[in-house]
């Protein structure tokens, strides 16, 4: 949902910046790599120390590279399969780093095994949700469902909650509860989204298989009828010979 509307807005906003980077000779792939490295640093350095506010600031700065690199490729007319593959692959790496950072905090100083497990579930389910769509499309299915909580929603919910929870270190009382709430929301929403996509792929695959079977039967119909007629003629001839 957010991906549909927010992406178009930020793409327009970041277009001048993308054009500037192209004039400076920066490649889209370089932006993708730097952006992923920045997100990983923000998540795996700051989050395990409980510095959620500053970690979120660093991640937010670099997460927009996901929009800038594609914008640059389109402006330069150099969009490629490799660029799309690299961008999608490193998105999964960055997402994993964010939830791994949460898990490390709760496994260590955060001292909450349940929330550590929830963060790990968010990490794993996010990867599987993305895989179901990619795998469905790879076998020729449209996977025509957005789902309740997609990547944009997972990031916004988690990072906004983490950033606000980080204000606890500045003396804002009780606000640190927002991160656990957000993790439970993302976990539940990811599970629902996974079920939605699996059900969609099952329905679309059944429809596709039925359509292929119908086409095969229609194509085999005339030849099958002709074969049956020939068998009948041969049988009659044999009976006459006997």
The one catalytic residue in 29, 66, 87, 91 is 91
Q: State the Cα–Cα distance between residues 202 and 185, nearest whole angstrom.
A: 26
Q: State the Cα–Cα distance between residues 217 and 213, nearest whole angstrom.
A: 6
- 91 tagged catalytic: yes
In sign, the C-alpha dihedral spanning 120, 122, 123, 128 is positive
Taking alpha carbons only, the member of 63, 102, 66, 76 closest to residue 20 is 76
CA dihedral 89, 94, 96, 102 (to 10 degrees): 180
Mark out the alpha helices in the chain (DSSP H runs): 2-23, 28-41, 52-63, 65-76, 81-107, 113-138, 151-165, 178-241
Taking alpha carbons only, the member of 214, 185, 30, 33 closest to residue 121 is 185
Q: State the Cα–Cα distance between residues 175 and 163, nearest whole angstrom.
A: 10
The three-state secondary structure class of 78 is coil
Taking alpha carbons only, the member of 94, 96, 192 closest to residue 145 is 192
Residues with a catalytic annotation lie at 91
């Amino acid at each position: 949902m957010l991906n549909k509307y927010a992406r178009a807005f930020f793409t327009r906003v970041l277009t001048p910046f993308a054009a500037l980077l192209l004039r400076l000779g920066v490649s889209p792939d370089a932006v993708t790599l730097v952006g992923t490295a920045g997100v990983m640093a923000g998540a795996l350095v700051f989050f395990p120390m409980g510095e959620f506010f500053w970690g979120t600031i660093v991640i937010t700065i670099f997460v927009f590279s996901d929009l800038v690199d594609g914008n640059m490729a389109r402006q330069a007319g150099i969009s490629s399969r490799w660029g799309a593959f690299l961008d999608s692959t490193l998105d999964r790496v960055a997402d994993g780093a964010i939830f791994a950072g949460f898990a490390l905090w709760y496994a260590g100083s955060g001292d909450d095994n349940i929330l550590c497990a929830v963060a790990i579930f968010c990490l794993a389910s996010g990867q599987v949700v993305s895989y179901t769509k990619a795998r469905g499309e790879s076998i020729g299915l449209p996977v025509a469902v957005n789902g309740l909580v997609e990547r944009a929603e997972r990031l916004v919910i988690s990072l906004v909650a983490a950033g606000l929870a980080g204000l606890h270190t500045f003396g804002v009382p009780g606000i640190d509860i927002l991160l656990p709430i957000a993790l439970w929301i993302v976990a539940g929403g990811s599970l629902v989204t996974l079920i939605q996509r699996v059900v969609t792929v099952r329905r679309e695959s059944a429809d596709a298989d039925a359509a292929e079977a119908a086409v095969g039967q229609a194509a085999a119909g005339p030849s099958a009828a002709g074969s049956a007629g020939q068998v009948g003629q041969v049988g009659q001839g044999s009976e006459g010979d006997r």
